[in-house]
Amino acid sequence: MTALRTRFLGDLQLKNYSPHTQAAYVSAVARFARHFGTSPERLGPEQVRQYLLYLVNERHVGWSTYNIALCALRFLYQTTLSRPALLDGIPCPKEPKRLPVVLSREEVAQFLAAAPRLKTRVMLTVAYAAGLRVSEIVALQVDDIDSQRMVIHIRQAKGLKDRYVMLSPKLLELLRTYWKQARPRPQRYLFPSQTDKPLVTQRVILSCRRTLRRSGLKKHVTVHTLRHSFATHLLEAGVDLRTIQVLLGHRNLKTTALYTAVSIERITSVTSPFDALAAIEIP
């Protein structure tokens, strides 16, 4: 590991960035250095601009990947190399806003019923019943399930924040069935791997893909789709946006407000002004 890489990683740790963000930033800077075959210390704003254009025009990366590269380079030059003005002329992209895929309640039931194994079904059910991210599912510990208060404790999630979500009585019953039948060892994590560590997120993602193929659904369903469906169904049931924001762990209410655009019940309950017009004769 080079001295610059060590210092860069140390700065990320001192800023208390999550391990996931640290790994993403280190990888992004490493790819930047490999592209030019030299240390970023020897590169300047023109090389940064060339590299970002290369990502867009030749690699055709998504805007989320582009933003990770840009944020990593900003941190490198502003914090680690103390050259804050170097990226002043680099514009931040305007990301396209796309509506998330949302399943109906019937589609959720069809999807969960197609899970090939009990453990898979329980993990995917937790994603929908509590609105969890895949990283939050694999990090769940047995002690996080509080059946006395009927809540699930989510520890150090995105943004290094703790929160509580509701524990559905039906979910609690399913978790108890899973625990009796699977009796996973070791017992620290709710969904452990073969060692005393949580599952890697990729295992859950692959299990979700297998379940989708078995379900017969034509929609593009990911683990996060279940979280989107959780939020949308709460909104359609009359739960206020602020409560949904807290349950999802969103920092900004605007992020949660996205679900008002995908709630079919809300959209179809609004009367078009066209209906109030006098009858129009069609020639």
Helices 201-215 and 105-113, axial angle in degrees (round to 10): 100
What mean pLDDT comes out for the span 153-158?
85
Per domain, the residue ranges of the chain are: 3-87, 105-267
Q: Does the global pTM surpass 0.85?
A: no
Which H or E run includes 163? strand 161-166
Burial of 67 (0-12, 13-18, 19+ CB in 10 A): middle
- Between 94 and 46, name the one with better pLDDT: 46
Assess whether 227 carries a catalytic annotation.
yes
Q: Which one from 49, 203, 224, 266 is the annotated catalytic residue?
A: 224
Distances (CA, A) of 251 to 10, 158, 238, 246, 247: 26, 10, 21, 8, 11
What mean pLDDT comes out for the span 121-125?
94
Q: Which two tokens stand for residue 222?
A: 């990911």
Assess whether 31 carries a catalytic annotation.
no
Q: Which one from 119, 121, 227, 228 is the annotated catalytic residue?
A: 227
Residue 111, pLDDT score: 95
pLDDT confidence bin for 282, thresholds 50/70/90: low
Query: How many Cβ atoms are within 10 Å of 189's Cβ, its own excluded?
Result: 18
Residue 128, pLDDT score: 93
Q: Are 13 and 5 in contact (CB under 8 A)?
A: no
Distance (Å, rounded) from C-alpha 63 to C-alpha 137? 26
Assess whether 224 carries a catalytic annotation.
yes
* DSSP SS3 for 79: helix
Assess whether 158 carries a catalytic annotation.
yes
Assess whether 259 carries a catalytic annotation.
yes
Assess whether 121 carries a catalytic annotation.
no
In whole numbers, what is the pLDDT of the chain averaged over residues? 87
What mean pLDDT comes out for the span 60-66?
87
Q: Which two tokens stand for residue 105?
A: 């309640």
Distance (Å, rounded) from C-alpha 276 to C-alpha 91? 47
pLDDT confidence bin for 25, thresholds 50/70/90: very high
Instruction: Please say whether the structural domain 3-87 has been given the CATH code 3.30.1540.10.
Output: no
Q: Which one from 153, 155, 158, 266 is the annotated catalytic residue?
A: 158
Q: In terms of DSSP H, where are the helices of the chain?
A: 3-14, 19-36, 45-57, 63-75, 105-113, 118-130, 134-139, 169-182, 201-215, 223-236, 241-248, 253-257, 264-268
Q: Which two tokens stand for residue 154?
A: 């989510």
pLDDT confidence bin for 144, thresholds 50/70/90: very high
Q: Which fold has domain 105-267?
A: hpI Integrase; Chain A (1.10.443)
Distance (Å, rounded) from C-alpha 237 to C-alpha 234? 5
Q: How far apart are the first and last CA of the chain?
A: 78
* DSSP SS3 for 126: helix
> Before 186, cis peptide (omega within 30)?
yes
- Between 86 and 33, name the one with better pLDDT: 33
- What pLDDT, in 10s, does the model give residues 174-219? 999 998 887 766 578 888 887 767 888 899 999 999 999 999 999 9
- What pLDDT, in 10s, does the model give residues 209-230? 999 999 999 999 999 999 999 9
Q: Which one from 25, 66, 178, 259 is the annotated catalytic residue?
A: 259
Residue 2, pLDDT score: 86
Return the sign of the alpha-carbon dihedral for residues 28, 34, 36, 41: positive
- What pLDDT, in 10s, does the model give residues 242-264? 988 888 988 888 888 888 777 77
Question: Do you know the residue count of the chain?
Answer: 283
Q: Which one from 133, 178, 189, 228 is the annotated catalytic residue?
A: 133
Residue 124, pLDDT score: 95
Same fold, 3-87 and 105-267: no
